[in-house]
């Protein structure tokens, strides 16, 4: 319903939605889906991503979220290309 209203009104929206993003935020967002993390992957920041994920796991005393592990893997694969 929201997208129908946006398109009907002609309001401009961010180009990232056309690239497959479901929501916009930072590339390491803890609320992002796996697909959004992969779409926003920045291969040059793979090590920073790993550090952030490790710090979050330590601060929260929980296992790292698998969505973020998948995003890190994707970023590392892109960096190797």
User: What integer pLDDT is reported at residue 12 of this predicted model?
Assistant: 92
CA 5 to each of CA 18, 34, 72: distance values in angstroms, whole numbers, following the listed order:
16, 27, 35
* pLDDT tens digits, 19-52: 888 888 777 787 888 888 777 777 777 777 778 7
Res. 4: pLDDT tops 90 = yes
State whether the Cα torsion 21-25-31-37 is positive or negative: positive
DSSP per position, 9-62: HT----GGGGGT-SS---TT-TT--HHHHHHT--GGGHHHHHHHHHHHHHHHTS
Residue 23 burial (10 A CB sphere; 0-12, 13-18, 19+): exposed
pLDDT at residue 16 in the model: 84
Residue 25 is predicted with a pLDDT of: 79
Q: Is the pLDDT of residue 76 over 80?
A: no
Q: What pLDDT does residue 66 have?
A: 55
Q: Cα separation of 66 and 81, whole Å?
A: 23
Token duo for residue 49:
């991503």
- Mean pLDDT, the chain, whole residue set: 75
């Amino acid at each position: 319903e929201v997208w129908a209203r946006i398109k009907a009104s002609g309001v401009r929206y961010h180009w990232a939605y056309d690239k497959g993003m479901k929501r916009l935020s930072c590339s390491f967002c803890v609320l992002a889906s796996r697909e959004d993390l992969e779409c926003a992957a920045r291969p040059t920041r793979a090590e920073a991503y790993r550090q952030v994920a490790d710090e979050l796991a330590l601060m929260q005393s929980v296992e790292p979220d698998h969505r973020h592990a998948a995003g890190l893997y994707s970023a590392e694969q892109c960096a190797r290309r």
